[in-house]
Amino acid sequence: MKKILLLSLIIAFYGCSTEPIVNTEIEFVNTGVDPNGWVIVPAGIFNYGMHNKVVEINYDFEIMQTHVTNQQFAEYLNAALAKGSIFLENGNVMGAHPGDPFDGYLHEWKIPAGNYLHFPYSKPGGQIKLIENKFVVDKGFENHPVVMVTWFGAKAYADFKGYRLPLEKEWAKAARGTDTRAYPWGDHISANITNYGSSKNALQKLLGGNIARTAPVGYYNGNKYGDYQTEDNRSPCGAYDMGGNVWQWVGDDYPDVHYRYLRGGSFTNYEYDLFVWGRNSAGPDYYDFNIGFRCARDFVKPIPTETITLE
């Protein structure tokens, strides 16, 4: 009995290291998927939530094909910093927010107008660093989803670009299409179809580092990487990674709560957090190494060009 106790203590002592495990350099993996791509989500009814409530979105809209990447976010930070719409303070990217309506509900926090945290670039967990007043992405992480972004930061990015964060219902329609599937790609899940709690071993081997966390956006597209055959995880409208990799902020600010909501699950989660009705929430100033976002925008039908025939 004493030996067992001693052994347990040794294991506990050895295993309890709390040093951040940060991969600063990995091999770049080209997935062939363009992070600048958008997909159209057509207007119409769809089944919303676990109980398949029929809901209508009566307009077409577009959503990003992938999460916003580190490269895209770093370029935005540099541009926004130059323009003065964000500023740096104590290792953080900060920016102004006009404030939220306050309903005085139990547990609701006041979010008054002021400057709020967008991106804590000096904290471990992200792959963007400030070097000589320029935001630079760690090598190999250019096409990984940006993480450690607060809701304020995600919204500021979308505003800066002329986009918006998708509403929950928009996100759900983009993830599920018009049927009753459980995951964006169908009803099954495996380590080869998305980056979630159970796929870490395969990713660690391929992407290097002690702990592989995020995967490049669009990584699961049916390509073979070495011996690792992925399955295509596109949702019915063609968006990649709507389940897994990193959580995605959505835009809604509901009455009676200060929380903002997150969808899609992440590399730290079990499969049930990846269901299309799975939902997480946190304050708008919350950030973590498994939280990112993607944007939406209104769909404008291209005007057909008239053909003029000269006689």
Partner 1 sequence: MNRFNYLFTSTKGLILTAIALVSIVTAVFNTLSGPMVEWGIRDLTVKWLGMDMNPAERAGRIIMLYHTIAMAVVAIEVYMMTSIIPMRKHEQKNINMLVTVGYITAMVFGLGFAYWGHNFTFHGLFLVGQSLVFFAGIMLAFALNPWKKEYYVTDKAFAHFKSGMDMERMAFFVMTVAMLISAGFGAVTGSFWANGHETFLAEDLIRNPDKTGLQKAIIGHLHIMLTLIAVSITLIVGRWLEFKGLFHKIAMPLMIIGTLIISGGVWSVVWTHLAHTFIYIGSVGVMLSALMLVIFSWKKLIHDNSIALGYTNPTLFQKLKALLSDPLKFGPTWQMVFMNFTVSGIGIFMAVKLEQIFRVWPAREERITLTGHWHILAAIIATIILMYYADIVGMKGKTRKWFGWIMIIGSDVAFASMTIFSMKTLFVPESVAQQGLMNTTMILADFGLGSLLVMMAIFLGWKLFDLFKGEGTWTKEAKNSELELERTSNPVLNIRRDNEFNSEGGVK
Closer to partner 1 by Cβ: residue 40 or 281: 281
Instruction: Count other Cβ atoms within 10 Å, centred on residue 122.
Output: 13
Q: Which residue stretch of 29-37, 128-136, 152-160, 278-286 sits at the interface with partner 1 (rule: CB under 8 A)? A: 278-286
Closer to partner 1 by Cβ: residue 218 or 265: 265
Closest distance to partner 1 from the beta carbon of 18 (Å): 5
Tell me, what amino acid is at 35?
P
Q: Give the Cα separation of 137 and 128 in Å (integer).
A: 4
Q: Give the Cα separation of 32 and 117 in Å (integer).
A: 33
Say whether residue 12 binds partner 1 (CB under 8 A): yes
Q: Give the Cα separation of 97 and 109 in Å (integer).
A: 15
Binding mask 224-263 for partner 1 (x = CB under 8 A): --------------------------------xx-x--x-
Of the candidates 116, 112, 119, the one whose C-alpha atom is nearest the C-alpha of residue 96 is 116
Q: Give the Cα separation of 205 and 170 in Å (integer).
A: 35
Torsion of CA 255, 58, 36, 288, to 10 degrees: 20
> From the list 66, 195, 214, 269, which residue makes contact with partner 1 (rule: CB under 8 A)?
269
Sequential DSSP letters for 159-187: HHHT-BPPPHHHHHHHHHTTS--SBTTBS
- Cβ atoms of residues 94 and 86 within 8 Å: yes
Helix, coil or strand: residue 35: coil
Contacts of 18 (CB under 8 A, 6+ apart): none
- Cβ atoms of residues 175 and 237 within 8 Å: no
Say whether residue 11 binds partner 1 (CB under 8 A): yes
Closer to partner 1 by Cβ: residue 40 or 50: 50
Say whether residue 164 binds partner 1 (CB under 8 A): no
How many Cα neighbours within 13 Å face the side chain of 99?
A: 7
- Cβ atoms of residues 169 and 176 within 8 Å: no
> From the list 46, 76, 135, 275, which residue makes contact with partner 1 (rule: CB under 8 A)?
275
* Count of residues interacting with partner 1 (CB under 8 A): 51
Q: Among residue numbers 190 through 219, which ones bind partner 1 (CB under 8 A)?
A: 197-198, 211
Closer to partner 1 by Cβ: residue 121 or 286: 286
Say whether residue 125 binds partner 1 (CB under 8 A): yes
Cα 133 from chain centroid (whole Å): 26
Closer to partner 1 by Cβ: residue 80 or 242: 242
Q: Which residue stretch of 151-159, 161-169, 229-237, 287-295 sits at the interface with partner 1 (rule: CB under 8 A)? A: 287-295
Closest distance to partner 1 from the beta carbon of 211 (Å): 6
Say whether residue 98 binds partner 1 (CB under 8 A): no
> From the list 50, 55, 82, 113, which residue makes contact with partner 1 (rule: CB under 8 A)?
50
> From the list 273, 292, 294, 296, which residue makes contact with partner 1 (rule: CB under 8 A)?
273
Closest distance to partner 1 from the beta carbon of 80 (Å): 25
Helix, coil or strand: residue 38: strand
- Cβ atoms of residues 267 and 195 within 8 Å: yes
> From the list 34, 99, 113, 123, which residue makes contact with partner 1 (rule: CB under 8 A)?
123
Contact footprint for partner 1 (CB under 8 A) = 1, 5, 8, 11-12, 15-22, 50-52, 105-109, 123-125, 180, 182-183, 187, 197-198, 211, 256-257, 259, 262, 268-273, 275, 279-283, 286, 288-290
